[in-house]
Structure 1
């Protein structure tokens, strides 16, 4: 039986610590199946890439709004003003007060423009949004985002869609020591072991899209990610043994008669 260990964001409880995306799937039906297999409670939707109403069945028709919390994101925005406008459009469309804030600074690396990101965070927080910014793995920026009112900070594990895994676990650990809001690894996960490593660092959750949608068997990978996030969380709470240079016997001889 799973322990009651909810993720709390913006005052709302989520039973899963895996957040998944909606892009890059070959079919909407497969996306639906992967969402279920992942066990996630929250799914991200790129507002600027959504279909207009009246154009037939849209992405939102394939998401059970009673089952999943929609996390609109501002993907494709390159300055604070466009990100703020996109977030407001999402709320006007009835999607959510939650927003995954992306303000991209470079088209090739998709690294964030942290100056514009902090600016947009301040504006959206004042407007009542629950802001979850995608950011670099810089502890100073993470602290500025917390001070700006972010409900969580989401440092990249590696560049978006790269599948490189957690490239700098030490920066992630420093961020966790620097801020008091939840830390969520966003971007870079390639396979289940990457998700487990992220969770074992002690982060609150992992957000991913390409690792599932781009897998050879997305449905199997979604299930694997579900188990990996749960295993990593349990391992982090259990506490690993210290690393040692030399062996330590599993069955010590001390106390055995005749020794």
Structure 2
């Protein structure tokens, strides 16, 4: 349901967010660039691959996590690198342990990724369903990364997932939203937030996702691999805001013919 902008919040699980832009933390040239990009994006949730982190960040002064302000940011641990449901489940529990180390003891969020295909990096639907079912029963807030499969999205919603995160196009490709038909169906049918993840390469891609009615986007490579990541982070912030406002405003109906913008009849003022 459309709402006026000043009360337009994003709710995932028990958390409420003002920003509809989420950022990944990999591939940046330096920690300083990553920190500046996160700040300029005004995002409130960042995702971090558990597999790449030390088991005890408090005793690791080089840990990137220690540089972030966790009073303003919410950690979204992800199970990237997991090829089976069992690996993903193990990573999810480690993710919660790391959340506790930064003072977010009530953080049971997990971005669920099960990817057994090393070439195209496409998520495994069967492994994702299996892991999601187990983790939800254990009290996790599960955000599953999936192909743009409308039926799979419905099955995951029925299981109790907090969101679905369909890919816009192959991860890291920057191709944008290449499967619009299925993404539109997922958005139309979903009763939980839809977050477009993977494939976004520029701010217009992010804006289009929000214009379609997606609730948020998650971006990493487009910012981290831009020539000037900080500028791209700001562009993504503005693109998401513009796309959401366009959706809330209600776009004019498209027509197959021209219509004068200054008619001489039917003037109401």
CA contact (8 A) 1:41 1:67 kept: yes
**Counterpart selection for 1:12 from 2, 11, 15:** 15
CA distance in 2, matches of 1:122, 1:210: 29
Number of equivalences: 256
Runs of 4+ deviating beyond 4 Å: none
What does the per-residue CA deviation read over 1:171-193, in whole Å, with 9 as the maximum and x for residues that have no partner? 11101222211111001000000
Does structure 1 residue 66 correspond to structure 2 residue 77? no
CA distance in 2, matches of 1:202, 1:50: 34
By how many angstroms is 1:153 displaced?
A: 0.3
Match of 2:39 in 1: 36
When structure 1 is superposed on structure 2, of 27-36 and 86-95 the one drifting more is 86-95
When structure 1 is superposed on structure 2, of 41-50 and 173-182 the one drifting more is 173-182
SS at match of 1:243: coil
By how many angstroms is 1:252 displaced?
A: 0.4
Gaps of 5+ in 1: none
By how many angstroms is 1:235 displaced?
A: 0.1
Does structure 1 residue 126 correspond to structure 2 residue 129? no
**Counterpart selection for 2:93 from 64, 88, 93:** 88
Match of 2:114 in 1: 103
CA distance in 2, matches of 1:169, 1:65: 35
What does the per-residue CA deviation read over 1:200-254, in whole Å, with 9 as the maximum and x for residues that have no partner? 0001000010010010100000000000000000001111111112110000011
SS at match of 2:111: strand
When structure 1 is superposed on structure 2, of 31-40 and 167-176 the one drifting more is 167-176
CA distance in 1, matches of 2:90, 2:48: 16
- Listed as ranges, the matches of 1:169-184 within 5 Å are 169-184=180-195
Match of 1:198 in 2: 209
CA distance in 2, matches of 1:158, 1:3: 32
SS at match of 1:246: coil
Q: Per the alignment, do residues 63 and 255 of structure 1 end up closer, same or farther by CA in structure 2, a change over 3 Å counting?
A: closer
SS at match of 2:6: coil
By how many angstroms is 1:56 displaced?
A: 3.1
CA RMSD after TM alignment: 1.4
SS at match of 2:11: strand
CA distance in 1, matches of 2:189, 2:261: 37
SS at match of 1:143: helix
CA distance in 2, matches of 1:80, 1:255: 62
TM-score (normalised: structure 1): 0.95
CA distance in 1, matches of 2:127, 2:167: 17
CA distance in 2, matches of 1:105, 1:137: 17
